[in-house]
Amino acid sequence: MSTPGAAADAARAEVRELIAAKGHTVDNARAAVARLEAAFAAGDLARTPSRDLFLGDLRRALEQDGGERLGGKSAEAARFILRAIDRELDRA
């Protein structure tokens, strides 16, 4: 069941915009994670085990060593996980 209300609708729309934004997938993913966390903290969207799992997986894909720019496998993993998060937003 999706979280009702204008704030939930706005959060879902904003996360989807971040996922679809032009630019580097890793940067978009970081922005989407930040927006989702803000929505959870504000109570606009509800946390669920599957949402937390997707976000945990995404965070691991976005980890970097020594300030290196992520790409390749990290970007591909982020794209895959972001698609799952996008689908999950309908139930968020």
Residue pLDDT, tens place only, 9-65: 999 999 999 999 998 888 899 999 999 999 999 999 998 899 899 999 888 888 765
Global confidence as pTM: 0.83
Domain residues for the domain of 72 are 6-89
Minimal CA–CA distance to 8: which of 53, 51, 50, 38?
38
Tell me whether residue 30 is in a domain: yes
- The CA-based angle 74-77-79, given to 5 degrees, is 110
Task: Domain count for the chain, please give it.
Answer: 1
Q: Is residue 69 part of a domain?
A: yes
For 11-50, b/e burial (b = at least 16 CB within 10 A) is: bbebbbebbeeeeebbbbbbbbbebbeebbeeebbeeeee
Q: What is the model's pLDDT at position 23? A: 87
Give residue-wise pLDDT tens across range 66-87: 455 555 677 788 888 999 999 9
Radius of gyration of the chain (CA): 13
Tell me if 1 is assigned to some domain. Answer: no
